[in-house]
Amino acid sequence: MLQCIHPTYKEIDDQTVHILLPLAFDYQMDGLLHRCECFLVQHKLPFLEKVWLADRYKLNRLLVLCLREMRPNSKIDLTGSRYYGLSDRVKVLLLERLHGSTVPEVFRNFHKFLKIF
């Protein structure tokens, strides 16, 4: 972890992001959380994995981007542990999106606000 916050900045990858996120969240390391979120935005991971991480670690920018790229009638496994691990709020957003709802206005405005990242 120290290598990721030290000025030399070790790169975050598929393995380290799962180690660093809980530590950064627990110790309120906003800079490292932001770097992990940027990594997750740019890299391919299973959709529900990204949504679960966004929900668990309060990565709102990532959650908004996932919801925006999700299409109605998408094929999503709603029986897996990642789905059951989501908060009720995010489950509702996913189900509404699956049934054709647009991304709620509050998230559209929130995404505009987050363009500063």
Distance from the first to the final alpha carbon of the chain? 22
Q: Quick one: pLDDT band at residue 78, thresholds 50, 70, 90?
A: confident
Asked if residue 36 lies in contact with residue 12, where contact means CB atoms within 8 angstroms, the answer is: yes
pLDDT at 113 over 50: no
pLDDT tens per residue, range 10-69: 789 998 899 999 999 999 999 999 999 999 999 999 999 999 999 999 999 999 999 998
Determine whether 81 is exposed, middle or buried from the number of CB atoms within 10 Å of its CB (0-12, 13-18, 19+). Answer: exposed
Q: Give residue limits of the domains in the chain.
A: 2-116
pTM of the model: 0.80
